[in-house]
């Protein structure tokens, strides 16, 4: 079946640095990808929707200059957390939508710890 891969699964970075998380659709072309954030013991919150070749649409309250999303190809979207702070530490999950049938697949998530 379709698989969405996230990399890295775990990342630790220092405050003030930037970190990039990749979301890949391994065996299908994803016209749209979504990024979610989840704090411990809380629900998933949609951050942004990215369409291949265009700018991402951010949910209210999500800083687009802080969370840079690039969807340069039909199989890859990246989320870059810029100038990371400890409060950015969270679990980030992406999902990808196939063009046909609009099926959505979720990645396994990426743990970010900012120290």
What is the total count of residues that contact other proteins (CB under 8 A)? 21
Decide if residue 43 touches other proteins (CB under 8 A). Answer: yes
* Least distance between other proteins and beta carbon 23 (Å): 12
Q: Is the peptide bond before 87 cis (omega within 30 degrees of 0)?
A: no
**Which residues have CB under 8 Å from 111's CB, separation 6+?**
9, 10, 11, 91
Site string for other proteins, 55-94 (x = CB under 8 A): ------------------------------------x-x-
Q: Tell me the closest approach of the beta carbon of residue 83 to other proteins, in angstroms.
A: 26
Residue 50: alpha-carbon gap to chain centroid:
9
* 2 to 41: interface string for other proteins, x by CB under 8 A: ------------------------------x-x-x----x
On whether the CB atoms of residues 22 and 6 are closer than 8 A, the answer is yes
Contact residues toward other proteins (CB under 8 A) are: 32, 34, 36, 41-46, 49, 91, 93, 95, 97, 102, 104, 106-109, 111
């Amino acid at each position: 079946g379709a698989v969405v891969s996230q990399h890295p699964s775990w990342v630790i970075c220092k405050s003030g640095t930037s970190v990039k998380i990749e979301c890949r659709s391994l065996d299908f072309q994803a016209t749209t990808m979504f990024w979610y954030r989840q704090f411990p013991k809380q629900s998933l919150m949609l951050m942004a929707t990215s369409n291949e070749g265009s700018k991402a649409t951010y949910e209210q309250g999500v800083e687009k200059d802080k969370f840079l999303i690039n969807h340069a190809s039909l199989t890859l979207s990246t989320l870059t957390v810029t100038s990371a702070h400890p409060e950015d530490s969270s679990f980030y999950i992406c999902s990808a939508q196939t063009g046909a049938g609009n099926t959505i697949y979720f990645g396994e998530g990426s743990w970010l710890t900012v120290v």
